[in-house]
Amino acid sequence: MNTLSINNLSLTYKNGFQAIKNISLDIKNGMFGLLGPNGAGKSSLMKTIVGLQKPTSGTLLFNEVDIIKNPDYIKQNLGFLPQDFGVYPKVSAYDLLEHIALLKGITDKNQRKNQILSLLEKVNLSDFTKKEVHTFSGGMKQRFGVAQALLGDPKIIIVDEPTAGLDPEERNRFNTLLNDISQDVIVILSTHLVEDVRNLCSEMAVMNHGQILRKGNPGKLIAELDNKIWSKPIDKTELETYGSSYEIISRQLLERELHITVFSEESPKDFSSVTPLLEHVYFHTLTQKP
């Protein structure tokens, strides 16, 4: 079992902006979803965990080893798919993986070759080993990103917003791949897509404004909202009135009719009960004052 233990972690950037505020999380094997809107601080947290930037305070332990003091320890065990992979070079998939494998210290030539070929197979790119990576589609690039992250058998894999920009089919394929690899390693998935977390993750946290607002098992967090989510079609002009008496967690147009969904401990008059979903957990968490 691998463990990542984040304790009272804070990060203030050079311009004085505090992007991470006293975060503590314990993460074990399996898929962990870090869910939050744009600007929440997800990438800041991911980059700090992988050692690209040092926190201002707090501790980070991977398998009991202090990885702020020993960043090499996490680097040796890490696969990272950053949000911005940068520019893809005009080299073939195979050659780029070979280059990255060498950087990761896979020095044995045969071992390198076997691993690259089996990874390309795993991510469904076997037919494109000689194709230049910069010509790949978005989905192919992301699957290539996973292949490079998996080189060297990492014990912790961090993927930052990997499905943003993928079409539904590519997203499905990518998610299936992540699910397959998360058995014996830690996979941290950062995303703003509630559905990906619901489909894949056994543990999750909601992050906003640099803080962890809620954490736990998605199913349990959803069950906490049983009989607390209600909806009603309203007229546009009533929105403000409802907003002042109820905690509106979402509003939605259904066939041009405005429906509001509210959180309420008691059954509000003329509302119908709604079966809670993870998106209700998410929006309810985000509407609460920190």
Rounded to the nearest 5 degrees, what angle is found at the Cα of 96, between the Cα atoms of 91 and 98? 135
Rg (CA), the chain: 21
44 belongs to the binding site for ligand ADP (CB under 6 A): yes
Sign of CA dihedral 141, 67, 191, 117: positive
Structural contact between residues 173 and 139, judged by C-beta atoms closer than 8 angstroms:
yes
162 belongs to the binding site for ligand ADP (CB under 6 A): no
Structural contact between residues 22 and 83, judged by C-beta atoms closer than 8 angstroms:
no
48 belongs to the binding site for ligand ADP (CB under 6 A): no
39 binds, among ligand ADP, Mg ion, none (CB under 5 to 8 A by kind): ligand ADP
CA-to-CA distance for 264 and 278, rounded, in angstroms? 16
54 belongs to the binding site for ligand ADP (CB under 6 A): no
Chain residues in the site for Mg ion (CB under 5 A): 42-43, 83
CA-to-CA distance for 95 and 270, rounded, in angstroms? 63
Structural contact between residues 159 and 149, judged by C-beta atoms closer than 8 angstroms:
yes
40 binds, among Mg ion, ligand ADP, none (CB under 5 to 8 A by kind): ligand ADP
Q: Which of 24, 26, 39, 105 binds ligand ADP (CB under 6 A)?
A: 39
Tokens of 229: 């989510």
SS3 68: coil
Q: Which of 4, 27, 33, 43 binds ligand ADP (CB under 6 A)?
A: 43
Tokens of 105: 């210290």
x-marked contacts with ligand ADP along 12-31 as a string, rule CB under 6 A:
-x-x-x-x------------
38 belongs to the binding site for ligand ADP (CB under 6 A): yes
x-marked contacts with ligand ADP along 175-214 as a string, rule CB under 6 A:
----------------------------------------
284 binds, among ligand ADP, Mg ion, none (CB under 5 to 8 A by kind): none
Q: Which of 23, 27, 31, 42 binds ligand ADP (CB under 6 A)?
A: 42
CA-to-CA distance for 250 and 239, rounded, in angstroms? 11
Closest approach, Cβ 83 to Mg ion, in A, equals 5
Contact set with ligand ADP (CB under 6 A)? 13, 15, 17, 19, 36, 38-44
